[in-house]
Structure 1
């Protein structure tokens, strides 16, 4: 197998990595705000206190496992992190403005391919 001698991290443009690191905390904060609103709605809804408590506990456990809440911060994981943010609905493709055209095209291709796979022949 031939390689170009570059690791995945080496292929990430410095400007993309810098932009990702600056935007990620903003995106995560907005996502957690959305989750908090959902939790408030759950707690304000109908049902017994214990039902709401256990449902909230289940939701929070699930939400903590999502890549959008906790991410491994490394250049080599940046593309996977962006795909996770996009597929979880944390960000839209419009929020990728400022990233390199090459990165945006790559992410769009993977997302399109993933959607085709999800909705493919069954």
Structure 2
């Protein structure tokens, strides 16, 4: 199992804020599309409310920033399409290998 390196932890702390900002920018565009749809304003409102309710639980929006959860957070960021494997290029080979092995399962 992967043990979090100090260098990886520093990179993660530095990058996660921008990853979240980019993800929320994407969400905001999708929300605008929901509100701009033809049809019932009420339906658009409730569709948006349901979507925000779901999205605000995503690790791309709120994250438990404990070192012990870093690998899990990275896997969740990948699962939620907040980041992709190329976003991990700065990290250690050990971390990238651990992520690759877990995601192959």
Q: TM range, normalised to the smaller chain?
A: over 0.9
**Aligned Cα RMSD in Å?**
1.1
Quick one: higher RCO (CA 8 Å, sep 6+), 1 or 2? 2
Alignment: residue pair count? 104
Task: Find runs of 4+ consecutive structure 1 residues off by over 4 angstroms.
Answer: none
Residues 85-107 of structure 1 deviation map (CA, whole Å, 9 limit, x = unaligned): 11111111001011010100100
Q: Unpaired segments of 5 or more residues in structure 2?
A: none
Aligned pairs (5 A) from 1:1-122 = 11-113=3-105
Q: Unpaired segments of 5 or more residues in structure 1?
A: 1-7, 114-122
Larger radius of gyration: 1
TM-score, normalised via structure 1 length: 0.82
